[in-house]
Amino acid sequence: MTLVAAVQMVSTPRVDENIATARRLVAQAAAAGAKLVLLPEYWPIMGMSDGDKVSHAEALGKGPIQDFMAQAAREHGIWLLGGTLPLASDDPSKVINTTLVYDPEGRHVGRYDKIHLFGFTRGSESYNESKTIVPGKQVGTVDTPLGKVGMSVCYDLRFPELYRAMGPLTLIVVPAAFTYTTGQAHWEVLLRARAIENQCYVLAAAQGGEHANGRRTWGHSMLIDPWGEVKARLAEGEGVVLGDVDRVYLDSVRESLPALKHRTM
């Protein structure tokens, strides 16, 4: 078995504050024995406006956000999946919402750019990520000692075909900043569905609370097993969710109910 951790944050508009919080929570997870740690979406910055993250965009391989992630992975000897950070794009008015993966030596070994961009309007509540984000185009997976990990971000959770394109997985990771409205309605049922239909573990790291910009995020970071059972959860506020990924149990689920082998299309 391998202990994994999801970090839940209530990120602020200040990158230095968020790095300090992430440093403390990653250290907490590592001290508990986690070998793979996942940060939430937008962990380095939840700005007062959607455009604030553009001014903090980093070129790949350069900048304080990436320096922190590489250093933390190396210091604690963990696999660190950096939620999402704003990477510079070819459009100076937009960023790429990117998950970067670092191995225990602190090397950058994987990347996934969020493909599906969130759009939602209900009354006075409105979001349109396409105004400030360039969508990704490539499915993202990374091979780790616990097995193949499939990467997705927040709104991707609503598109099951993305996960099928990854092939058989040991673990799906979902860094997210689900709104309170949509999270309350759909977050857990979608996470459990992805675990059940792909017969793998799902680790979700969320933003969870009231932010300085007035936005409220749902939280409920959790680990779900291949049978769809929630093994660990944190409702709101910052903290760490810990749980084991058990390859023996995963194999037993697939052996008793070989749904992945029964696919005909």
Tell me which H or E stretch contains 256: helix 247-256
Structural domains of the chain, with CATH: 2-256 (3.60.110.10)
**Average pLDDT of the residues of the chain:** 95
pLDDT value of position 127: 67
Alpha carbons within 13 A on the beta-carbon side of 154: 30
Q: What are the CA-CA distances from residue 36 to residues 49, 100, 166, 171 (Å)?
A: 32, 13, 20, 11
Average pLDDT over residues 113-139: 84
Per-residue DSSP letter, 135: P
250 Cβ partners below 8 Å, 6+ apart?
A: 170, 199, 200, 201, 225, 226
pLDDT of the residue at 46 = 95
Let me know if 154 is a catalytic residue.
yes
Residue 90 pLDDT exceeds 80: yes
Tell me, yes or no, if 200 is annotated catalytic.
no
Q: How far apart (Å, rounded) are the C-alpha atoms in residues 116 and 72? A: 29
pLDDT of residue 131: 87
Q: Is the pLDDT of residue 120 over 90?
A: no
pLDDT higher than 80, residue 249: yes
Give me the catalytic one of 94, 129, 154, 200: 154
- Indicate which residue of 35, 53, 114, 238 is catalytic: 114
Residue 38 has pLDDT above 70, yes or no: yes
pLDDT band at 130 (very low <50, low <70, confident <90, very high): confident
Percentage above 70 pLDDT, the chain: 98
CB-CB contact of 215 with 18 (8 Å)? no
Residues 6 or more apart whose CB falls under 8 angstroms from that of 41 comprise 83, 84, 97, 153, 154, 175, 176, 177, 205, 206, 207
Q: How confident is the model at residue 144 (pLDDT cuts 50, 70, 90)?
A: very high
Active site (annotated) includes residue 114: yes
Residues constituting the chain: 265
Mean pLDDT of 103-125: 88
> Do 175 and 208 touch, CB atoms closer than 8 A?
no
Of 25, 117, 23, 101, nearest in space to 60 by CA: 101
pLDDT of residue 124: 64
Tell me the per-residue pLDDT of 153-206, one tens digit each, with 9 for 90 and over: 999 999 999 999 999 999 999 999 999 999 999 999 999 999 999 999 999 999
CA distances from 79 to 20, 29, 71 (A): 19, 12, 11
pLDDT band at 51 (very low <50, low <70, confident <90, very high): confident
**For residue 68, pLDDT beyond 70:** yes
Catalytic residue among 35, 41, 236, 238: 41
The CA-atom distances, in angstroms, between 254 and each of 7, 28, 204, 226, 258 are 28, 33, 22, 9, 5
Q: What confidence tier does 126 reach under pLDDT thresholds 50, 70, 90?
A: low
Question: What mean pLDDT comes out for the span 99-116?
Answer: 98
Q: Where are the beta strands (DSSP E) in the chain?
A: 2-8, 36-38, 79-81, 85-88, 95-102, 108-113, 119-122, 125-128, 140-144, 147-151, 171-176, 201-206, 221-224, 230-234, 239-245
Residue 91 pLDDT: 93
Q: pLDDT, tens digit, for every residue of 228-237?
A: 999 999 999 9
- pLDDT tops 80 at residue 265: no
Q: How confident is the model at residue 79 (pLDDT cuts 50, 70, 90)?
A: very high
d(CA 190, CA 183): 10
- Does residue 122 have a pLDDT over 80? no
User: Two tokens at 222?
Assistant: 């959790």
> Helices 64-76 and 15-31 meet at what angle, rounded to 10?
10
